[in-house]
Amino acid sequence: MKNYIFKAKAALVGDELTYTENVCIFVRDGTIELVGPADGAKAAAADYETVDLGDRVLMPGMIDSHSHTSLDARVAGHLEMMTDPAPDLTIRAVNNMRDDIMSGITTVRILGDKEYVDVSVRRAVNAGEIPGPRMLIAGIGMRSLHGHGFVGVPHTGAQEFRQTCRQNMLRKVDWLKIFVTAGAPPAGSGFIPSYVSLEEIETVSGEAKRNGLRTSAHCIGGEGLINCVKGGIDVIDHAYCATDADLELIAEAGRFVCLTPSVFMDLERNTKNPANVAKNTELGRDRAVGSMRKIVRSGVRYAVGSDALHANMPLEAKYAVELGASYLEALKGITVWGAELCGIADRTGSIKEGKAADLIAVPENPLDDLDALRKVSLVVKDGIIIKNEQGGTI
């Protein structure tokens, strides 16, 4: 493996993403060895290859904290396509992961797929056979027989959930994922059914904890959200109907929420949904956006995901700002806080000595202009240059 010195006009350094001018980042064996001034004495070391980025700004690679490999929300009919044969799902997954890494997403949390496509794609990425981000995967997502989850597989009873947990763990997944509620806020009475029992939730959580894994729940609110917290689920995904009492419960338990803003805030995205899903999204938009605004200002720990709107984390950061986050908070939501949610903050998420060299270069300071995130010219994952517009792509 090559050792590098990355020189840039500036970098967002440390867990506070501090804008630091005139920076050199020394990378040895894929790890950040030193962050120092560009005129540092080690710059002449013979065993480093220098990559001079000129007036570019370096920052941590982006983290998409909620996605799926073979689901692609950029494409009309993507939900129905989840019933396609495994080869078709795999082809889409390979293309989606390539799009993600080339856009500057160096880590992605994959929350369920069909036919264990995520397992196969992760193996190929790790082997260097195809380009892609670091993948934290969940294998088969578990939903109830009568419940929501286009990516999930139906289950009934604690024993069926337990069996799939163990099938997933046999394939060395990183997370266990359960679908608890519907996807959109309900109309009419506002009642939010929970399709999964507390016993089933506790079964999944217990299997995970005994094996050192983390758990995530698709859950918009209601009794299901309360049961997820009671049952030990680590991350509540979406939380589109979370009440003030729900957020207090989440905060007291020290759990995370994963926000997925574009599902309701991106009008173009909604045109790609089936008619019934598009209608429910329109009807539920105000409630979902209002809930996400409360989460951003509540003090609850959160990070941001795309829910399979691949290569579009700059858009999610923009929506986070519209929800009330500062530019710094929005950037943390797709870097530092994403790593914390994923349980890998000791490994990535910020430019710090001892962490993996997951780096991207942008033309301006994104703390001033989030559009800079759309112009990524360099992508480095684990110290390997994946994309370099000045030197070509790999």
Residue range 52-94, pLDDT digits in tens: 999 999 999 999 999 999 999 999 999 999 999 999 999 999 9
Q: What are phi and psi of 172, to 5 degrees?
A: 65, 45
82 Cβ neighbours under 8 A, 6+ residues apart: 70, 71, 89, 114, 150, 151
Q: Are 177 and 216 in contact (CB under 8 A)?
A: yes
CA distance 91 to 204: 30
CA distance 144 to 179: 7
CA distance 175 to 66: 12
Beta strands in the chain (DSSP E): 4-13, 18-28, 31-37, 49-52, 57-60, 62-67, 105-110, 134-136, 142-144, 153-155, 175-179, 214-219, 235-238, 256-259, 301-304, 359-362, 378-381, 384-388, 392-393
Virtual torsion, Cα 295, 299, 300, 303, nearest 10 deg? 80
Residue range 124-165, pLDDT digits in tens: 999 999 999 999 999 999 999 999 999 999 999 999 999 999
Q: What are phi and psi of 317, to 5 degrees?
A: -65, -40
Q: Which domains does the chain have, with CATH numbers?
A: 4-61+349-393 (2.30.40.10), 62-342 (3.20.20.140)
Q: What is the Cα 371 distance to its own chain's centre?
A: 19
In eight-state DSSP terms, residue 356 is: B
Q: Would strands 142-144 and 153-155 be described as parallel, antiparallel, or unpaired? A: parallel
> pTM for the complete prediction?
0.97
Query: Which residues are paired to 219 by β-bridges?
Result: 238
Amino acid at 39: D
Q: Are 97 and 125 in contact (CB under 8 A)?
A: yes
Three-state SS for 228?
helix
Residue range 219-249, pLDDT digits in tens: 999 999 999 999 999 999 999 999 999 999 9
CA distance 20 to 253: 36
What count of Cα atoms within 13 Å lies in the side-chain half-sphere of residue 144? 21
CA distance 322 to 116: 36
What count of Cα atoms within 13 Å lies in the side-chain half-sphere of residue 108? 33
Question: Alpha carbon of 372 to those of 37, 141, 196: distances in Å?
Answer: 23, 34, 42
Query: Would you give per-residue pLDDT tens digits along the chain (394 residues)?
Result: 999 999 999 999 999 999 999 999 999 999 999 999 977 645 556 789 999 999 999 999 999 999 999 999 999 999 999 999 999 999 999 999 999 999 999 999 999 999 999 999 999 999 999 999 999 999 999 999 999 999 999 999 999 999 999 999 999 999 999 999 999 999 876 899 999 999 999 999 999 999 999 999 999 999 999 999 999 999 999 999 999 999 999 999 999 999 999 999 999 999 999 999 999 999 999 999 999 999 999 999 999 999 999 999 999 999 999 999 999 999 999 999 999 999 999 999 999 999 999 999 999 999 999 999 999 999 999 999 999 997 544 4
CA distance 203 to 206: 5
CA distance 53 to 76: 38
3-state secondary structure 278-344: HHHHHHHHHHHHHHHHHHHHHCCEEEECCCCCCCCHHHHHHHHHHCCCCHHHHHHHCCHHHHHHHCC
